[in-house]
């Protein structure tokens, strides 16, 4: 054990025993069983709730005749990062989230009108939702729910509930509004489909702006590019009659062909929650649009600097549609 090599082997063995101790103490699970434990589940009665949640749910739903639509998110047991189990349900124009952090159960609730952003992301089997708003304690808060994308459909009613808060004054025709994205077919087929799926019934498209992914050369030899670096992911900004929708790729997501990556992230922001829209130069090739939201929870969208006139027209139309508050 005196040689450096022997010492390294010993140290590595000790590390592995410590690191994998918890894994060895668990019942061995198959890949399918681990995957299934990451699924979200619909809960239809008090009896189906985990015991830790039952007293809290009973108090919140004391006078309720019908058990509300509820979804339980998993702990992701068996994966590298463990999530706390959460229960999401809606009642009386509010969203409620119960979270079991192993020590106690925490309650967070948001009145629907106080939610200023909801984000839904899906990259391969990993999916998540961020709920951002003014919580029941009067504080700006963010709630994160993670689950296997196989069960993402269970969360559609909650997303639609938040986004449907404002009724349109002049309802749009769903087929006609979706057809407005047809010019995107030759530019980015995936984002055309994402845009169409993002629309709510009766929602009207006012304008949209697509920025394809931009790369810069990282290594060139004899004029041939060997390595590239992404400086701007693909992003699509949509203004409808009720909200601002931002659809974008995730730079860490793998590609499934030369121009498209797996999955995507959608952010939905009610127009009346916008605080400001600011265009700034960041480099010779890029400009940024900062979408300022409550609690300084801002979204940043990058565009090619050559597209400044288009972006300025987009911002001007948004500002004409709504009256931004004075900061």
Tens digits of residue pLDDT in 89-140: 999 899 999 999 888 999 999 999 999 999 999 998 899 999 999 999 999 9
User: What is the pLDDT averaged over residues 42-65?
Assistant: 88
Q: Say yes or no to pLDDT of 2 above 80.
A: no
Q: Say yes or no to pLDDT of 219 above 90.
A: no
Q: Chain centroid to CA 47: how far? A: 31
Q: What is the CATH number of the domain that holds 99?
A: 2.30.29
DSSP 255-301: BSSSS-BS-EEEEEEEGGG--EEEEEE-SSSEEEEEEE-GGG--EEE
Contacts (Cβ under 8 Å, ≥6 apart) of 123: 149, 250, 252, 253, 262, 263, 264
pLDDT digits (tens, 9 = 90+) for 257-301: 777 889 999 999 999 999 999 999 887 789 999 999 999 999 999
- Choose the final residue of a domain: 108, 143, 163: 163
Residue ranges of alpha helices (H) inside the chain are: 4-19, 21-25, 31-36, 54-60, 156-163, 174-179, 189-198, 308-321
- Within a domain: residue 43? yes
In a shared domain, residues 182 and 216: yes
Q: Say yes or no to pLDDT of 1 above 50.
A: no
Query: How many other CB atoms sit within 10 Å of the CB of residue 165?
Result: 15
Any bridge partners for residue 108, and if so which? Answer: 97
- Choose the final residue of a domain: 116, 142, 163: 163
Number of domains composing the chain: 2
Per-residue confidence (pLDDT) for residue 247, from 0 to 100: 97
- Within a domain: residue 38? yes
- Within a domain: residue 289? yes
Q: Say yes or no to pLDDT of 226 above 70.
A: no
Give the global pTM: 0.84
The one-character DSSP state at 212 is: -
- Within a domain: residue 5? no
Per-residue confidence (pLDDT) for residue 291, from 0 to 100: 96
Q: Say yes or no to pLDDT of 21 above 50.
A: no
pLDDT digits (tens, 9 = 90+) for 162-211: 998 777 667 778 999 999 999 999 889 999 999 999 999 889 999 999 99
Element (H, E) at 115: strand 105-123
Which range marks the domain in which residue 299 is found? 174-321
Element (H, E) at 109: strand 105-123
In a shared domain, residues 207 and 317: yes
Contacts (Cβ under 8 Å, ≥6 apart) of 300: 288, 289, 290, 291
Mean pLDDT rounded to a whole number for the chain: 84
- Choose the final residue of a domain: 114, 133, 163: 163
In a shared domain, residues 149 and 210: no
In a shared domain, residues 181 and 86: no
Q: Please check whether residue 71 is in contact with residue 87, taking contact to mean a CB–CB distance below 8 angstroms.
A: yes
In a shared domain, residues 138 and 205: no
Q: What is the CATH number of the domain that holds 303?
A: 2.30.29.30
- Within a domain: residue 7? no
């Amino acid at each position: 054990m005196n040689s450096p090599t022997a010492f390294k082997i010993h140290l590595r063995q000790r590390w592995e025993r410590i690191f994998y101790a918890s894994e060895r103490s668990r019942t061995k699970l198959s890949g399918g069983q681990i995957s299934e434990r990451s699924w979200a589940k619909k809960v239809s009665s008090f009896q189906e709730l985990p015991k830790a949640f039952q007293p809290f749910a009973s108090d919140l739903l004391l006078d309720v005749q019908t058990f509300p639509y509820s979804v339980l998110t998993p702990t992701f047991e068996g994966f590298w990062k463990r999530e706390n189990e959460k229960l999401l349900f809606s009642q009386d124009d509010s969203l409620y989230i119960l979270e079991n952090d192993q020590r106690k159960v925490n309650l967070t609730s948001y009145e629907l009108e106080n939610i200023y952003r909801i984000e839904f992301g899906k990259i391969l089997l990993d999916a998540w939702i961020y709920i951002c708003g003014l919580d029941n304690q009067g504080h700006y808060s963010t709630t994160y729910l993670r689950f296997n994308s196989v069960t993402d459909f269970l969360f559609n009613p909650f997303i639609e509930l938040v986004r449907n808060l404002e009724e349109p004054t002049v309802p749009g025709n769903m087929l006609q509004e979706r057809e407005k994205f047809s010019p995107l077919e030759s530019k980015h087929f995936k984002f055309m489909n994402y845009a169409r799926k993002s629309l709510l019934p009766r929602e009207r498209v006012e304008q949209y702006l697509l920025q394809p992914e931009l790369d810069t050369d990282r290594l060139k030899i004899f004029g041939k590019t060997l390595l590239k670096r992404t400086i701007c992911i693909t992003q699509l900004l949509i203004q409808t009659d009720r909200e601002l929708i931002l659809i974008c790729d995730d730079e860490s997501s793998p590609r499934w062909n030369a121009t498209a990556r797996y999955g995507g992230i959608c952010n939905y922001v009610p127009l009346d929650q916008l605080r400001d829209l600011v265009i700034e130069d960041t480099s010779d090739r890029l400009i940024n649009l900062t979408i300022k939201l409550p609690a300084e929870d801002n979204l940043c969208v990058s565009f090619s600097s050559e597209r400044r006139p288009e972006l300025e027209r987009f911002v001007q139309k948004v500002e004409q549609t709504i009256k931004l508050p004075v900061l």
